[in-house]
Every structure is written in C-alpha cells, then in structure tokens.
Amino acid sequence: MYSFPCTECGACCSSINNIEFLTEYNRDGVCVNLVNNRCTIYESRPLLCRVDAAFDEIFSKNMTREAYYLANALACNELQVAKNIDKKFRIDIDSLKASIRLI
C-alpha cells in the first residue's frame, strides 16, 4: 500500500514549539527524541507523529487520504524552506499527485 513519502528531513521534529501533544518532549523547539536527525523512539512515537496511522485513526473522518497527503507534503516543503533545509529533501509534489491518483 502507498504510504506518505517522508524524506526524513527532520524539519517537523525540530519545529515543535506550540505543538500541544509534544510539549513533554520540547526543548527549545526541538524534540528531545531527535538524535542525529533520527527519532530514538520511532517504534513507540506518538500517534500524531505517524502520518499514516494518524490518518487512519483521526483524519480519515474528515478528509480523503489524497487531500491529507497533499496538505502534509506542502507543509513539509514549506517548513523545509523556512528552515533552509537542502532542496534534496523536498517532497516531489507532482510525483505525489501522480501516486495518490492510484490509491
């Protein structure tokens, strides 16, 4: 099954100020579980850190998977630009659109 094409840039995990469900992990906006750009609690990370599982359990009630993926991908790229992260990590929106049409 198709899954969200995260490029593991780490931008979301280092931008957690004001994210209520991650308050306990927040150290100056960076998650304490992010070490060397990897999540050290990956297998037990919170539901909202799991893009696909969060869709299945929460967001599928209100939107399609296609719309959810697209909104997330655009937000990822926007965050990467704001954090000046290398372009190689951008999610390819055209490829994503082509892929989600196949879901």
- Interface residues with ligand SF4 (CB under 6 A) are 6-13, 16, 22, 25, 31, 33-34, 39, 41, 45-46, 49, 76, 79, 91
Q: Which is nearer to ligand SF4, 45 or 65 (CB)?
A: 45
As a whole number of angstroms, the distance between CA 44 and CA 66 comes to 26
Closest distance of CB 67 from ligand SF4, Å: 16
- Name all contacts of 33-41 with Cβ < 8 Å and 24+ positions apart: 34/10, 37/8, 37/9, 37/10, 38/8, 39/13
Shortest distance, position 74 Cβ to ligand SF4, whole Å? 10
Closest CA to 58 of 66, 69, 47, 67: 47
Q: Which is nearer to ligand SF4, 91 or 96 (CB)?
A: 91
